[in-house]
Amino acid sequence: MRISLLQTDIQWADPMANMQAIGPTLSACEGSDLCVLPEMWPTGFCPRPTSETAHKQ
């Protein structure tokens, strides 16, 4: 079994940007049986919106 582990930079509080940015990174998984991404990578890790991030939601 071939497993690929991926790490990517995230855009804080911008799930859509994170989803769009992962495409090229996922191409590195070609031929893998399993592709592992960091937990919560698409969410942008924003548990409490601030005035700076609130406009993105």
Quote the pTM value.
0.65
Distances (CA, A) of 44 to 16, 17, 22, 48: 9, 9, 13, 11
Print the domain residue range for 28: 1-38
Q: Give 1-57 as a 3 state SS string.
A: CCEEECCCCCCCCCHHHHHHHHHHHHHHHCCCCEEECCCCCCCCCCCCCCHHHHCCC
If one compares 49 and 3, the residue with the highest pLDDT of the two is 3
What is the band of 56 on the pLDDT scale with cuts at 50, 70, 90? low
> What is the number of structural domains in the chain?
1
pLDDT at 45: 76
pLDDT at 25: 85
Residue 5 lies in a domain: yes
Residue 20 lies in a domain: yes
Give the pLDDT confidence of 36-50 residue by residue, as tens digits: 998 888 887 767 666
